[in-house]
Structure formats: structure tokens, C-alpha cells
Structure 1
Amino acid sequence: MSSWSQALTFSSASAWDEVFTDFHGASRIKVPDRGAPWTGHLEWQRSKTYSLAQCSGGEEVVQRDTRHIRADPRGTHELLVPLAGSAWVEQAGESGEIGPGAMALCDIDRPLTFAHGTDLCSISLIMTGRNLSARSPRAAGGPQLLHGDRGLGRVIRQLITTLHEEREHLSETTFDIACDRLLDLVCLAVEGGVDSAPTGQRASVEAAIRRYVREHACDRDLDVVTIARALGWSARYVQQVLQAAGTTARDLVRRERLNVARTRLASASWSTYSIAEIAHASGFGSHASFATAFRAEFGITPREARGGR
């Protein structure tokens, strides 16, 4: 098993508490009887950007309140995907029971109650709030309960399950790339619902802008004027749409170029190209500016990303 992927079985609630809080933050964990036999199992993988964990265990109630958040702020959000059994989730006045047909996206730095019985088996994707809000301020703005049994929700559920199952065949770099795509789908589900495409003109325009930038990210002259001209809108309107979505054309282009470059650094097809050549081919004007932006975005250097292939 790789150093960033582990599996543990627990025979006591106290041992479980320690690992649970390491993943999810300081919390108050209640179990029916701490003196009684208790078992739990946890399999996880962690990169510098994402954590993905499958867990099952005994009955418990987890409460993370303002005192815990002040003492142990995380700046993270968590997508909880039950595979079997059910759990009760409550945050910011929203509450509900989720099972294999539902998912919950929660802010770990807002008071949260999470309870389940012995039948729960679930997968959790933990991501930074910064990474989430850059894609969707709405997704980062509060708890979201999503369907997971049809449409896009079912695709998300299947993808997160497969990502966990294939962890031994993924490097940290390819794991992060796959999690990025998964997070894109989660934000799309939050923005437009899992049963239909986003409605309304502004949402349609935003989707068209993002699609165009994704397809033309490596064009050296790509900017808000080029995007607007290609799509038939004014640059001012494009700026307004992106501003409402919590981003700018410049930031959107930079992020897409970084994603392209990271994929190429992990690809055998680009192994004969230098990092500077990949940076240039991905739309960056200089190796130095690319390296600085890459490290700020992903927390590792381009050389480290290539070494993790």
C-alpha cells in the first residue's frame, strides 16, 4: 500500500476518536457505551489537496460546535456519500437523513451534528473551501443535500466509489486530477440540480464561458475580450457573469491552464518535454511565473508533480 494510502481496523471507540478528529477536526463524539466492544474500519488516501476516506463503525453522534471550530479551524468542506445504511446530518438550520440515494456537502467550519447507527458505510471527500469556492460560491456557501440515485448525482456517486477502489493504481498527481473533475461535477450538481442543466440566461452564459475557456485554455491570446468576441457577448457582460460566479476571466484562464499543465506533467506522452516547454505549451509566458502559480494553486512544485507520475 502506498505511503499516502492506508487502512486501519479499530477495536475501541477511543482509538477511533483520535483518527476521526484528525480527519474531520475537533469534535465531541458520543457512543452508547464506551466500555462495550466497538469496532470500526477506515481506508483512506490523502494528498496535499484532497482526502478520500471510506469508513464503517459502531453507533455514534458527532457534534462539532463553535468551541471546537475556534480551537481547530480546518477551512475544509466535506462531501458525505453513504454506500449502505443511513446518517442524520444537521447544519445551519438544515437537516435530513441521507442514505445510498442521497449525499450531503457540509462546511466543516460551521457547527455540525452527524449521527449514525452500526449499519452505515460511507465515503467522504474532503476538499479545501478555497478550492470549492473558486468553482462555486453557492456550493461553498452552506450545507447542500443532493440526490445520488439518478442523473448527475448517480455519476458522482459511482465516480467517488471507483476513485476509492482504484487508489492503489493512482499516483498523488493523478488522484488530484481525478478529484478536481469530481469536484467540478459536484459544483455543477449544486448549481443546476442533478436532474437538469442550469436554468436561466446567466447560468447558461457562465457554462458557455467555462466550456470555451476549457477548450481554448492554451491559446496565448485568450482573455476576456477574446472570449466575449467568440461567444457573441460584450466583454462587460462576460465580466459581470463571472463576477456573479465569484471569479474573473483572468483567474478562470489561469486555473484551466494550470489544470492542463498538471495533466501534461503526469502524462507519459509529455515525458520528453521539459517543464519550461510544458509551461509554454500550456499558455504561460515564463517558466518562473508558471512555477509560482502552480505551487500557489496545488501546494507542490511542477517538478514534484512530475515526480509523482
Structure 2
Amino acid sequence: MSSRSQDLTVSSASAWDEVFSDLHGASRIKVPDRRAPWAGRLEWQRSKVYGLALCAGGEEVVDRDTRHIRSDPRGTYELLVPLAGTAWVEQGSSSGEIGPGAMVLCDIDRPLTFAHGDDLVGLSFLMPGQNVAGRSPVAAEGPHILSGAGGLGRVIRQLTTTLHEEREQLSESTFDIACDRLLDLVCLAAEGGNDSAPTGQRATVEAAIRSYIREHACDRDLDVVGVARALGWSARYVQQVLQAANTTSRDLIRRERLNVARSRLAGASWAAYSIAEIAHSCGFGSHASFATAFRSEFGMTPREARRG
């Protein structure tokens, strides 16, 4: 099963209002002249978890205020990646102009203003707010204007562009796996990893913990004690570092095991193995507990993921 794709050409401002609201949520949209011809384009890819859209339209000013948010809450964050033209974004006390050398990460359920001319072409990466907060409380506090000219920002820009270009070649499971990795990079950039490596002892320890768990996720006896022993810290200190990052070792291990399981379910090299065998290989004690955790994390059953 592939992720759902939709390509639209819009010829009126009123029709564009509907398209924009479906993508970003209810908003007040102002355009210079609603009677004038409109040239809007939307290439929209979505799964049950993520969305990625290329948008191009006429000049507009968009306001999404508390009234719109109450009537149409989305629970999502958006990374806007301009490919051409410029846009003005304002949320809370932060504001700025962004073009092809920059990106912005915003919470769709916080009041914001978005304005651009008729030359803007941009990619919008939409992700669940709970996924952002679960990875990085810092990223969730946004908005964040990020550089896309070099380093990690350039990697994010290129990965977002490639995901859009290859969207019809990806199954829903593969699309979600790639989006998970893109979200990891976005959160790292929002935490300050775009210009230099994370500084400070706690950030260094957290990065080491995450890396170790990702590498050893399928070890059946992996726990906080084993992680701490392998990295040379106390279990209590590891717990404190992860608590400050709004997570726990158990949650990290479970999430990484589920990510590995989803990759194996979608991979041809594991096609001969049953779902129960894959669950066991990823460190889960029972098929039932694995299926429950998988559905809770990805919004689909392991069987549906394998079918994709």
C-alpha cells in the first residue's frame, strides 16, 4: 500500500482557500483581488502519520488565530522549506523572512501569520505534535527559523526535496520510516545542532545514550542498567538526563525496537519470517504486546505494515 498522493491545479482564490485550509487548518486568508485569475498548485503526499506537500500559489496573507484553532485543532507541526521566493512568518514574539536559504518550524495550533508573494514555491512537512515533543521539548517550544544553506540544515533541505520527488516510489511504511528520520534531524537542528555539535555534558550524554540504544535496540536484555554500564555512567544519571529530555530509557528502547520492526516488515529480506518471529527478533516478549505497541506508535497493525 502506497501513501496517498494528490496533485491539484487551482484556478480561483476561493478554491485555493479550501485547499489551504485542508492542509494547514482553518484560517483567515486575504488576497489582493479575489476576482483576478489564480494559479495555484499542490502536490500532496500523506500517510496516516505524516504529510509532505509542494505548494505554489498567488499572493496572500494568512492568519490562524485562537478562534480558528479552537474550531479546527490539528495537533501538528509544520516545517516550511522554501524552494523559490520568500515568505514572512510570525508566531508569538518571533518573526522573520525566509527564502531558499532558510526554513521555519511552527506549531500549527499556536496563533501565527504567514504571508508571501506570488513567487513562493515551498515544501511543507507536516508531523504530529506528539512526535515532536516526544523527541525534543526544545523543538516543541518553537517557532524555530533554521538555516538551510549548509551543514545539517542543507541535509534536511535535500532529504525533504528528495522525499517529495520520490514520493510515488515509496510505500506508506517506507514513507513513514523516511519521515521519522527527517523528524529526528529537524529536532536536532532545532536544538542547535545545525551550526555545531551539541555542547555541554548533558547534551553529549543524551546523544551517546540515544546512539547506543539505536545500535543495540534488539538486544533482548537491554535496559537502563546495561546502557549505563556500557557508557560508563550510573543508571541514576542516565535516568536524570533522559528525564530532562522528556523521555525514559524504556520509551526510547521501545520506539527504536518498533522502528526496526517496521523496517523488517517492509523489507524483502524478512519476507520469509512471520510477524511473531520478527517481533521476537526485535526484542518483544510476545506477539500480542508487540501488536498493541505497534498500532499505538504507527496507527496501523503489523499486518497492514507488511502488506505495504
Is this a same-fold pair by TM over 0.5? yes
Partner of 1:296: 296
Partner of 1:224: 224
Q: Distance in 2 between matches of 1:255 and 1:245?
A: 15
Partner of 1:160: 160
Q: Distance in 1 between matches of 2:19 and 2:171?
A: 23
Dislocated runs of 4+, deviation >4 Å? none
Give deviations 1:248-278, integer Å, cap 9, x for gaps.
Answer: 0000000000000000000000000000000
Contact 1:103 1:145 (C-alpha < 8 Å) held by counterparts: yes
Give deviations 1:17-52, integer Å, cap 9, x for gaps.
Answer: 111101110000110000111110000100000000
Contact 1:132 1:139 (C-alpha < 8 Å) held by counterparts: yes
- Identify if the C-alpha distance between structure 1 residues 250 and 3 changes in structure 2 by more than 3 Å, giving closer, same or farther: closer
User: For the aligned residues, what is the CA RMSD?
Assistant: 0.8
Report the TM-score when normalising by structure 2: 0.99
Q: Distance in 2 between matches of 1:299 and 1:224?
A: 27
Partner of 2:174: 174
Partner of 1:107: 107
Contact 2:217 2:256 (C-alpha < 8 Å) held by counterparts: yes
Q: What secondary structure does 1:220 align onto?
A: coil
Q: Distance in 1 between matches of 2:151 and 2:195?
A: 6
Letter in 1 for 2:185: L
- Identify if the C-alpha distance between structure 1 residues 3 and 249 changes in structure 2 by more than 3 Å, giving closer, same or farther: closer
Q: Distance in 2 between matches of 1:192 and 1:25?
A: 29
Letter in 2 for 1:40: G
* Structure 1 unaligned blocks of 5 or more: none
Shift of 1:3: 7.0
Letter in 1 for 2:198: P
Q: Distance in 1 between matches of 2:27 and 2:193?
A: 31
Shift of 1:101: 0.4
Q: What secondary structure does 1:122 align onto?
A: strand
Q: What secondary structure does 1:284 align onto?
A: coil
* Structure 2 unaligned blocks of 5 or more: none
Letter in 2 for 1:297: E
- Identify if the C-alpha distance between structure 1 residues 191 and 3 changes in structure 2 by more than 3 Å, giving closer, same or farther: closer
Q: Distance in 1 between matches of 2:23 and 2:40?
A: 15
Q: How many residues align?
A: 307
Q: What secondary structure does 2:33 align onto?
A: coil
1:306 is the counterpart of 2:295: no
Give deviations 1:273-306, integer Å, cap 9, x for gaps.
Answer: 0000000000100000000000000000000001
1:68 is the counterpart of 2:68: yes
Shift of 1:192: 2.8
